[in-house]
Structure 1
Amino acid sequence: MTGTKAIVLEEHCKSNGLSYCRFDYRGHGLSSPETFLEMTLSDWICDAETILLDVLLKDHSQVVLIGSSMGAWIAIHLALRYPDKIAGIVGIAPAVDFTQKVLYEKATDEQKNDWLSKGIAYFPSKYESNPYPITWRFIQDCKEKWQLLDSATLSNRIPNRCPVHLFHGQCDNDIPWMTSLELAERFSTSTVMLTLIKDGDHRLSRPQDIQQISAALMAFYNVSKRLESGPSLL
């Protein structure tokens, strides 16, 4: 929650009189770093759900969800679970199904053997000096419970009700921008916008990127305000 986008968006919301909430999932940032290897996507969706129900919806009838990478994947699941409470989703480089499509399918034989024998494999990180630990529990949890694009249970549609605005950099070397294109095609709602930023990377943290994200946020807020349901932000 101390990332560039989170901080700048908070400043933007304060200057426009909007409520705003940011938090770290368990095992991330300032939140219990020692528990990271014990967590799965189920746990992090539970964290987001707790913030939504016990914090945001105490004072607001609807919220706009802003999620980056894995956070966008989680935001979509919250919108599916609470369709009447979500006024819109701003998804930044959504890492939907990345555990299967990016991690498992591109893992080396050594990494797959480590998963089977040790329950954990390590992946090089472009953002940190130490390799990134990924547990087999995390991979299995995502595959069994949370896949969206490969899920037959959704009848080839993601049955969301709220409007969505996705942003994806076409120079994203972590999550292919075609993921956002497929998401846009699969959403049930007719109100879906996809902004491709030709020279943008995965983080989309440059001032010009955040300016576009802020504009999308304000568009959702203005619509919600006309409906008398000014949102908080997650």
Structure 2
Amino acid sequence: MTEIRFHEMPDGRRIAHRFTPGQGPTLVFLPGYMSDMAGSKATALFDMAVHAGRACLLLDYSGCGQSSGDFADGTLSRWRDEVVALIAAAALDKVVLIGSSMGGWLMLMVAEALPDTVHSMIGIAAAPDFTDWGVAQMDKGLLADGETIYEDNPYGPEPTPTHPGFWADGQANLQLESPIGFDGPVRLLQGQRDAEVPWELALRLSETLRSDDVQVTFIKDGDHRLSRESDLAVLMRTVAELVLARETAA
């Protein structure tokens, strides 16, 4: 098990991460909302990278996993800055961003911030703009008034909170309203039995991306997590194809 290290942000936040060196481009996994680098997809990706001699970076956003901070203070912009800081600290020249659910929104923001560094992206049930399409109008009113809303959590006993700061920041960083200026390869993996993200969103994201090299893979019986062995096999094949494409192009 590669040692967990901590990167200190200017305000003192300590961001937990794991890094294994190797051939590039570096695989960077971006977890979903309230998730961390101990999840099955992140772990499988890291193990694959270690065995294949590939560079890989995992991280916990502030307020999540082993990173310091309060989850209630978390926003997409805050977490984007943490990802960018880790990539800079590790001096990574080329990366493949792999974003799960909310991480699929965050990867678009990181790619915008690092246009010369991000080689390609893989979205796993990517959920850009979910503060807009995934929140009821009544709840939007409560959030706008500064209240936290809570929803049933299908993955645990505690309800899932949406804090007003996160919601407002999400609304300020909507991606699907205008073309997304990324020209590199993008692969989108989407389960059609996903109860959280409508599978049609993958098509909308594909259309919004400026790149012509976008492929959408639907997994008909796949749920939101896409963490079964068969789902992970699809992910690993997708990663391998992008890495090989990068090396062939080089």
TM range (shorter): 0.7 to 0.9
Q: What is the CA deviation profile of residues 58-94 of structure 1, one whole-angstrom value per residue up to 9, with x for unaligned ones?
A: 1x42111111011111111111222221111011001
Structure 2 spans left out of the alignment, 5+ residues: 1-36
2:194 maps to 1:194: no
Q: What is the CA deviation profile of residues 132-157 of structure 1, one whole-angstrom value per residue up to 9, with x for unaligned ones?
A: 1211121111112x10112xxxxx31
Instruction: Give distance in 2, aligned partners of 1:183 and 1:40.
Output: 21
Instruction: Give distance in 1, aligned partners of 2:59 and 2:75.
Output: 17
1 or 2, which has the higher strand percentage? 2
Amino acid at match of 1:193: Q
Amino acid at match of 2:151: F
2:172 maps to 1:137: no
Is 2:49–2:55's contact at 8 Å kept on the other side of the alignment? Answer: yes
Instruction: Give distance in 2, aligned partners of 1:10 and 1:62.
Output: 17
2:51 maps to 1:23: no
Higher relative contact order (CA 8 A, sep 6+): 1
- CA drift of 1:113 comes to 6.0
1 or 2, which has the higher helix percentage? 1
**SS of structure 1 residue aligned to 2:57:** coil
Instruction: Give distance in 1, aligned partners of 2:143 and 2:48.
Output: 43
Alignment RMSD: 1.6
Is 1:87–1:220's contact at 8 Å kept on the other side of the alignment? Answer: no
TM-score (norm 2): 0.81
Instruction: Give distance in 2, aligned partners of 1:117 and 1:84.
Output: 39
Aligned residues: 214
**SS of structure 2 residue aligned to 1:91:** strand
Is 2:143–2:167's contact at 8 Å kept on the other side of the alignment? Answer: no
Structure 1 spans left out of the alignment, 5+ residues: 151-155, 229-234
What is residue 64 of structure 1 aligned with on the other side?
Answer: 96
- Which of 79, 82, 86 aligns to 1:44? It is 79
What is residue 176 of structure 2 aligned with on the other side?
Answer: 149
Stretches (4+) displaced over 4 A: 111-114
What is residue 119 of structure 2 aligned with on the other side?
Answer: 87
Is 2:144–2:168's contact at 8 Å kept on the other side of the alignment? Answer: no
TM-score (norm 1): 0.86
Q: What is the CA deviation profile of residues 11-47 of structure 1, one whole-angstrom value per residue up to 9, with x for unaligned ones?
A: 1111211011101101112223x51001211111111
